[in-house]
Structures are given as structure tokens and as C-alpha cells.
Structure 1
Amino acid sequence: MTTFNLLLIALIQGLTEFLPVSSSGHLILLPNLTGMADQGQVIDVAAHLGTLGAVILYFWGDVRLALGGLGRLMRGKIDTRGAFLALCLIIATVPVVIAGLILKLTGLSDMMRGIAVIGWAMIIFGVLLYWADQTGTEERTTEGWTLKHAFQMGLWQAVALIPGTSRSGITITAGRMLGYGRSDAARIAMLMSIPTIMASAALLGLDVIGTADAGALRDIGLVIAMSFAAALFALTIMMRLLRSVSFTPYVIYRIGLGVVLLWIAYS
């Protein structure tokens, strides 16, 4: 692939991974709408690693807390906030891992990559996000995250395997429905993304082990660096805007893009 194509893929992945607009949907649309060659799984893994680095850096305080508690959790102790956070993240990740394996083994994941599916998902889950954001209370904070809510949000996160849904969007929707404030719902959603992206990258990585030659290392490094920078920028802007702006602008974008995609799919 050309350097321009690689930069475009990295930018799209980085900018949309943590915004509630579906990064996977945009990446699927790129070759469908532009005629570009599919980027392949090696580049997908590289883009995921870049965004993973960005969210870990941005939420390093929470990540360090969870990592510190993971050791105690493995010894059967849940007596610190870090250990409880680590347990919540594990519980929230289990549903999407199981659902992902089922879709991959059955081949259903490939069947859902059509433009019509992405269009409908953009609109339906965009409207759901708007409803949850407008009607949800703000009585809960990240520190009050419970095991029950972690599992419930994990179930919603599994729905994001439908292209166009948006992993961050559906988990933020679930958080707002459960009464978490906008910033807190987004913070939980971003923390949930860390083990999920790690699991996704590992699953993709198993398929591409041994396929990347020395000539591909430059492309991989470029995509990692660019997606990292783009994701960190998008994440920083979104978290700052949430102090004063709702999710409505993202909903408008989702619905508009969804309408265009359905017009393309059915015309």
C-alpha cells in the first residue's frame, strides 16, 4: 500500500476509535467507497496497537491502579480499589471475547460487513445514544462502578461487534442508561476498551504471525505512530468537550452518515 493509504487508515482508526462513531465501520467503508485495496489484518493490528497506546497513556493513573490491583486479585484478594477495578474490567471484557470468538468461528463476522448493515447500525445506535444521553441521570461516578454494572456494560459492548455500532458509543450509551455522568460514562468506556483492544489485537495477531516480512515493518511502525497520535488527539478533545457539550454532535454525524450509506446500499 502507498504511504498515503497507510496514513489515511491510521488517521481514520485513530480519530474514530474512541469517538462514538464506529472505527470499524469507517475502516470497512474505506475500501468499499474509495476502491482502495483492503488494508489487511497486519495493518489492522498495527492501528489497534497505536490506539491502545493512546488510551493507556491518557488514563495512565487508572491503568496503573488496575495493574497494581491485578496482582492482589490473582491472589484472591479484592481488598483494594485497584483490585476491584481490575475485576470489573475483566468481567466487562468476558462477553465481547466470547461473542467475538463465536462470530469468528461461525463466519458471521464477515457476513455483517455490508454497507447496509453499517448504515442501519449508525442510525439505530445513534438514536439510542441520543435517548440515553438526554434521559439518563448523572447520579453515579466512575468510583461507584459495580460488578453488576460492569457485566451489563460488557453485554452491551458485545453488541459493538456489529459493524457501525461503535464500541465506545454503545458502552457510553449503557453507562448513561445506568445513571453515570457523561464524563464518567466515557471514562469507564475508555477503560473497558483497553482489555478489549488487547484481546482483539491478540486474536488478529494469531492470524498474521509469520506473514509480516521485513519490508512491512516500516509500514507497521508508521501506522502505529500515526494512529497513536490521532487517537490521543481525539480522546483529549472529546473528554474536554464533555464538560460542556453533550453527545448530540456525534449523533447528528452518525444519522447523517447512516442515511447516506443506506441510500448507496439500496439505490
Structure 2
Amino acid sequence: MSKKRPLILVTNDDGINAPGIRTLIEVMNTLGDVCVVAPDSPQSGMGHAITINDALYCNSIKVINGEPHTEHSCSGTPVDCVKIAVNEILKRKPDLCVSGINHGSNSSINVIYSGTMSAAVEAGTLGIPSIGFSLLDYSLEADFKPSKKFIKLITEQVLKNGLPKGVVLNVNIPKLDASEIKGIKVCRQANAHWEEKFDKRTNPLGRDYYWLTGEFVNEDKGEDTDEWALHNGFVSVVPVQFDLNAHHAMKELNTWDL
């Protein structure tokens, strides 16, 4: 008896027409039965936002080239896409959710702002093994080909071994040729931050407006971090948990006069 192919949900935050998700779909089609549910427009930086004050629309899209998967564009956020896929579109819970390939880094502190990773985290809260993939290249002309073999290898291992309960993977890939990537490292998230600035301007009607800018500052010198791995030619894999309890602080807070 042939083994049943896993059902794989594919989503992203750059939008259903982004080049990154096209590469991810291509790889996933070699590993299982694929259903794509992704935003109909770019949703970068949306974090774990959901749509509660507007209607959600989800349209089936005709797949070109006779590829064997189904696709749906959603008017909502990346998290909305996962929710509507699991609750309305798919006939059963998927065996895996993959999100990406994001155009740009989601390493270190960026993980908390990322729509790509929030989609993966949402699937994780539903008990679905999940992975977010990002390439350190913001260009729409980014070359995703070097990422393919690493994405396939990591995905195969998750399908084979599963993931610890409450954990999803945050995978970042350096902007290098495949021959230049030294391998894969399991890392911790670097302790870094953004020093934000706002570029204040005035429009022709005299109204002030702002553009958010900033500088990424990494003061973490550890050689076990995602930032170190990426700057030294490795793919970084960070296990992320969505349990936000600060367990180490509970003992101290229990000494307060509350």
C-alpha cells in the first residue's frame, strides 16, 4: 500500500503573486499535496494581526501550467489566511504549514513583527507543525534557487520527525550562491533591536506625516545566534515558542505585596 502524501498548507505575507511563495510552492509540490491560501496583497510587518472589523473575501485562483495544487487569495492578513484555510477551505487539518519565502530577514527581533512568522505561529497554536522561511534579500528580483535544497531538507526532517509541542521553526537563509552556503545551524535568537527614527515631512496641504526608518543594532556577540550564523554563511534555524509566559519571573512576582 502506497503511503499517503502529507497535506501541506502554504502561505506568506508578501502576497500570493510574490516570487518567494512561487518557489516555496514548487518545493512543496515534490513533498505532498499542496493548498495555497495567501494574502491578495502585500502584508509585511503585520505581525499577528487579524481582521475583525471588515469582511474577509477568499477567491479560488486558476493554477497555471497544470500544477497539481489549489490556490486561494484572501483579503486578510497572513494569520487570517491560516485561520480560514483550516476552518473553511481544507477538508482536514494539514500535516504541515510553511510560510514564505519572505523577501528579507526575519532573524532576531524581527520575528515579532513578521507576518510570515506569525502565520507559522498561528498554525502552531492549532497543533500543526510549522516553518517560516526567509531569504536575506529584499529585492523582488531575488534569486530563490539556492534556497530550494535547504528548504526541502528542513521540511523533510520536520515531516519525518515532527516538532516539539508548542514549537515552530524560524528559518533564515543568507543571500549567497548554494555553493557558498556552508550548511545549517540550529541557533538561538540574537539579542538585538531596532533604533527607530521617524522622517518627518509635510504634504502639499500642510499636514505633517512620517516615514519610519531605523538602524538594526546587534550587541549580541555570541557565536550560537542566528545573526552570527547568517553573517558567517550558514542557514539559521531557530525554534520559536508561542508560550509567552515569563516562567522565570513568577517566583519574584510572587514576593510582591499584591
Fold equivalence (TM over 0.5) = no
Question: Per chain length, whose mean CA-contact separation is higher, i.e. which structure has more relative contact order (CA < 8 Å, sep 6+)?
Answer: 1
Query: Which is higher, the Rg of structure 1 or of structure 2?
Result: 2
TM-score by length of 1: 0.24
More helix by share: 1
